[in-house]
Structure 1
Amino acid sequence: MQQKRIFQKVALILLFGVLSMVYVVLAWHTKTILVGDDRIFHIERLEEAYQDINKGHFISMISTYSFGKVGQAINTYYPWGNLLFYVPIRMLLKNPITAYYSYLVLEQFLGLVLAYIFGHRLMKRKDAAIVFAILLRFSVYIMFNDFGRADIGESWAFVFVPLVFLGMYNILKEVYVKGAICLVLGLTAEMYCHLLTTVFTIGLLLVVYLLTFIHQQEKKKVLVTIISSSGMFLLATLAITVPIIRQLGVRTVIPNTQFFTEKEISFNTLVSLSFSNTLGQGLPNVGLAILLIALGGVIGLKNSNFWETYAYILGVVLLLCSTLLFPWYLFKNTPIAHIQFMWRLLPFATFFLSLYGASKICTVYTWEKDSFKLIILNLSLV
């Protein structure tokens, strides 16, 4: 029995490894780093980190190797944690293109593993957990972030979102220590990669907490654990927050709020792009699979449990709120406008809809005891 479990774990790791290579193989085959909205910005940040550490220094707040050597304080406001994954790869492989795509392979592999762990803990089924990981990590928006936008910081931050919700789930299930550890580690890792993704995640954690408040048996213990976890998170992220606080009095170019009124997308556009599985610059969408779950998932709500129901509702609400169906123009003169693109909500919509879809798919089709069918299912999802 023990040997069988070890074999299954090794097979799962190999599957995720192969899928991670599949994820980048077409782009890697071009032997170029494909054009993306933020490609130059993030490549220069990656190389800056490599040069700094290779010369015996830690990552500086001031960029002196890249960005035309003009000393921009890029890393004061843009977290640098994800750059640390790139540096040893770059040192080992030397070739910057090979290092870049290997970096994406590592990102996708970690994303698949963490998504699987959360899915397995929540759904108690290996097949559903694998389907969830595939639906999430091979969704069009995740690929859009990696290739269409080349927004490496946001991409890496979302890798840790399942770990955050695993922590919240454990706390709500009264597994306090493990839950607090996962919650703090996940949010801290997010914060060291991308600030806005962390803010969105915290907001959704608050929503989940409020939705489950009535059903919590140990309300006081849950609240105390969340508050103590928040304190540990604040301490763990001082390396990011202190430099920002110190720069508050310095005149800084803030994000262009004009994008908030010009670059949002209509619901019709989102549906059209998703139906065609469009992947390209400036074309955010969720892809056909997630869209079909959103449109057809209402059929399965009648036979859904508590978390399935709320996963579907949250997914659909976030999907709608990522478009102009929500009157975002009312907030054009508020700090919310600095978010720039409200379609940043799409990966979270994808997260919740992938959970719901995986559960329903594996309720209709029982794959767990048929490994061959399970492999075929996963390959078909890719």
Structure 2
Amino acid sequence: MNKIKNNCYLLFSMAILSILYSLPLFYNQDLRAFNNQDLLFHLTRSLGMNNVLSSPVNFLNYANHGTMANTFYPWVFLFPLFVLYKVSGSIVIGYKLFFLLVTFVTMIIAYFSVYSIVKNKNSAFLFSVLYSFSLYRTTDLYYRSSFGEVIAMSFLPLVILGFYQVVFNDYKKWYWLTLSVSALLYTHLLSAAVMVIMLLIAFICSIYSMNELRHRLQTLVLSGIFFVFIALGFIVPFVIRTHQNVLSVPPLFKLQGTNLGDLFVFSLNNTIGMNSIGITTIVALVITIIYYTKNRATLSKFKHLMFYSAIVVLILSSSLFPWSIFNGTPIAQIQFVWRLNAFSTVMILMAFSIIVLPNTNLSKRMILSIVGFIVLFNFSSLNTLYNDPQKIFTSLSTSKRTNVMVALMSRLWTGFFGTESCRTPKIFQNPDFSLKRRDFWVFL
């Protein structure tokens, strides 16, 4: 009975914190689409889901030129947003409610992931708050409106838990790895690709320290097989449509990491829009380094791996790594090196939560104070963002007319990225279609 009561208190606390995190979205009736960011694109994707199961193209968007984006950009986890839009009658209201829900789910997954590893409620709760309120996640949601990355960040802690179970703990729980990586694939293709590469490298680095190696290899292969079968639902249409059409894709930029000094300065300033990891993550990193230096002899193999993984990924996201050698290669599809800050954020905060926090005796008052500071830091950064005169944005109101406007304003993207025609898929080559040319947009 006490366990049920405690879980109810925990869920209630997470719900309140999710509301606090999302409060700036609801403070004003409008929604801000910052210039050259992704909000309008993802809202048109959401509006285009009304026929996603019956046709790969939706001609109600992009000024009736049509969009095939949902074939190339995973859409499964946008379905709740589409439902909320239909129920509320406004894509703006649906958006706000959806990311309130996403934040709540993120907190639950984050708590479950850390608690499953360390069995420490305080560590798990603080990680869920630190991670959900992290600056990079806030930048992704409030400024960049990168739906795919925001939702993908919800599953990153679960991926680490799945890897921990397969390689270091109970390999019979391999399904967590399969389900979490599959969720990444059906959320954000680039995040899934980067994470799979990281998992393979981490597995190779761990292979000499594993016990029951044969069983763990078998379960890893089993996990991979199930992942492939689950992935077919997205991969097969993706490959077919890619070969059927000439695609207009985003421009590729020269890969260049952020200067490590600038990364720390931007993080300490806690400024949204600079794509940094934020002050709370930096503080967690410094504390973890100090603690690790003094207690490394007592730590488990997994904790060693988490610590070094966090450091390595942070270095990879900086200019210390020679990213220029990958320009012109498939790796350049990542577009921006600072995307890795999503991974460095989860690894740094998870390392802090499983290495340092379980060995601290924090009172409830101390935990409440830490949570309060985290919330205040977040409010302060968002207040700066919304009152920055240099930030240009379009205000989307809750009026139903906004739904129509979003479908038409995709022309903003045309002006920024340029257009490129593609041949019409064979399934549309019939007299019933009046348009002779279709413009398809693909945003990975």
2:357 maps to 362
2-structure distance, mates of 1:148, 1:240:
28
TM-score for the superposition, normalised by structure 1 = 0.90
Higher mean C-alpha displacement, 283-292 vs 87-96: 87-96
Q: Which residue identity lines up with residue 204 of structure 1 in the other structure?
A: M
1-structure distance, mates of 2:54, 2:6:
40
Pair 1:329-2:320 in alignment: no
2:272 maps to 279
1:26 maps to 24
Alignment map for 1:197-216 (pairs within 5 Å)? 197-216=191-210
2:44 maps to 44
2:424 maps to none
Aligned to 2:319, the other structure's residue is in SS state coil
Residues 93-128 of structure 1: per-residue CA shift (max 9 Å, x gap)? 223222111100111111110110010011220000
2:280 maps to 289
Between the two proteins, the alignment pairs up a number of residues equal to: 368
2-structure distance, mates of 1:310, 1:229:
21
1:270 maps to 263
2-structure distance, mates of 1:120, 1:59:
42
Pair 1:149-2:144 in alignment: yes
Pair 1:194-2:188 in alignment: yes
| 1:303 aligned residue (295, 298, 318) | 295
2-structure distance, mates of 1:315, 1:198:
18
1:5 maps to 3
- 2:164/2:302 contact within 8 Å kept: no
| 2:91 aligned residue (79, 91, 96) | 96
Q: 1:219 to 1:365 in 2, by over 3 A?
A: closer
Q: 1:60 to 1:133 in 2, by over 3 A?
A: farther
| 2:75 aligned residue (75, 80, 87) | 80
Q: How much does 1:174 deviate?
A: 5.0
Structure of greater Rg:
2
1-structure distance, mates of 2:122, 2:54:
41
Q: Which residue identity lines up with residue 41 of structure 2 in the other structure?
A: F
Q: How much does 1:67 deviate?
A: 2.0
Q: 1:268 to 1:22 in 2, by over 3 A?
A: same
Higher mean C-alpha displacement, 57-66 vs 284-293: 57-66
1:226 maps to 220
2:338 maps to 343
2-structure distance, mates of 1:77, 1:93:
27
Q: Which residue identity lines up with residue 349 of structure 1 in the other structure?
A: S
Cα RMSD for the two superposed structures = 1.9
Residues 268-325 of structure 1: per-residue CA shift (max 9 Å, x gap)? 3222211100002xx2000011122334532111314133332222112211211222
Q: How much does 1:188 deviate?
A: 1.3
Q: Which residue identity lines up with residue 182 of structure 1 in the other structure?
A: W
Q: Which residue identity lines up with residue 299 of structure 1 in the other structure?
A: I
Q: How much does 1:361 deviate?
A: 5.0
Higher mean C-alpha displacement, 129-138 vs 263-272: 263-272
1-structure distance, mates of 2:109, 2:24:
24
- 2:152/2:184 contact within 8 Å kept: yes
Higher mean C-alpha displacement, 340-349 vs 302-311: 302-311
Q: Which residue identity lines up with residue 5 of structure 1 in the other structure?
A: K
2:162 maps to 167
Q: 1:374 to 1:229 in 2, by over 3 A?
A: same
Aligned to 2:44, the other structure's residue is in SS state helix
2-structure distance, mates of 1:59, 1:268:
51
1:138 maps to 133
Q: 1:361 to 1:295 in 2, by over 3 A?
A: closer
Q: 1:11 to 1:221 in 2, by over 3 A?
A: same
TM-score for the superposition, normalised by structure 2 = 0.78
Q: How much does 1:348 deviate?
A: 0.8
Q: Which residue identity lines up with residue 316 of structure 2 in the other structure?
A: C
| 2:313 aligned residue (313, 318, 322) | 318
1-structure distance, mates of 2:55, 2:31:
25
Aligned to 1:64, the other structure's residue is in SS state coil
Q: Which residue identity lines up with residue 224 of structure 2 in the other structure?
A: S
- 1:154/1:194 contact within 8 Å kept: yes
2-structure distance, mates of 1:237, 1:24:
32
Pair 1:254-2:228 in alignment: no
1:375 maps to 368
Alignment map for 1:234-249 (pairs within 5 Å)? 234-249=228-243
- 1:188/1:236 contact within 8 Å kept: yes
Higher mean C-alpha displacement, 101-110 vs 208-217: 208-217
2-structure distance, mates of 1:313, 1:175:
22
Q: Which residue identity lines up with residue 266 of structure 1 in the other structure?
A: N
Gap runs ≥5 in structure 1: none
Aligned to 1:201, the other structure's residue is in SS state helix
Residues 132-162 of structure 1: per-residue CA shift (max 9 Å, x gap)? 1111111100111111110001111121122
Gap runs ≥5 in structure 2: 376-444
Q: Which residue identity lines up with residue 303 of structure 1 in the other structure?
A: N
Q: Which residue identity lines up with residue 193 of structure 2 in the other structure?
A: V
